[in-house]
Amino acid sequence: MTNLVELNDITGMFIDARRMVRDCRGTVYGYMRVSTIAQDCERQNEALEALGIPKDRIFMDKKSGKDFDRPGFQALLDCLREGDLVVIKTLDRFGRSVKEIQEQLWHITNQKKVSVAFIDSPFLNHSENLPPMAFMLSNMMYLIFSFSAEIERLLIIARTDEGRKIAKQNGVRFGRKPLPVPVEFWEMRDGILNGTLAKTAAARTLGVDRKTLYKWLREAQDKDTGSSEEHA
């Protein structure tokens, strides 16, 4: 019989990640994610390994959390079987879209019958051993924290866009640096213009696409026009 004191104490209603790992009757997996290749998962990895999850069962993605089209996550889904457990450090490492988070958690916990544990947020943990009240509260907290994660993602996008606008106003250029015009282009230019050398063949010889070749021709023409005006 459930102790009434436990029911009145919300923290006592939930099962933490360490206990879920200990009691898991299937295989325990870990999942971690960062948004860019430049970031590392060291803190997430340390937290997962501290629970005894071996490296070969920890899946990782370096991709945005806006959706779940991620190779590491999809590989994890393929491994999951009924009774398994997935451990994640925080909800925002799982995803940042309310709709996507709800759909994936439903798929994992209800269709695959797999438990999910969040190390830093035990009140979000889903397990077949959760009391009904804890399960209901967990679903409510998912909604709240999912909205928070999505709002943060939108704020990051807004801040990034604003930063790019300010940088552009200050003369910062984004994208790839333009390719330097090779000496061979100038040697071929007259032949390209008078039609004795096909543009496709010229681009192939120069090792560029036709778009780049046309850009060089336009720039060369603008340069010639500017020089003529200066001497006029």
Active site residues: 35
Retrieve residue 117's tokens: 């544990």
Neighbours of 48 (CB within 10 A): 27
For the sheet with 115-118, list strands across it: 58-62, 28-34, 85-88, 115-118
What is the full DSSP assignment across 16-79?
Answer: -HHHHHHH-SS-EEEEEEESSTTS--HHHHHHHHTTT--GGGEEEEES-SSSS--HHHHHHHHH
Asked if 14 contacts 138 with a C-beta cutoff of 8 angstroms, the reply is yes
The residue written with tokens 């948004």 in the block is 35
Which residues, other chains included, contact 58 with Cβ-Cβ below 8 Å and sequence gap of 6+? 29, 30, 31, 32, 45, 48, 49
What is the rounded end-to-end Cα distance, in angstroms, of the chain? 99
Q: Measured between alpha carbons, how far is 121 from 14 in angstroms, rounded to an integer?
A: 10
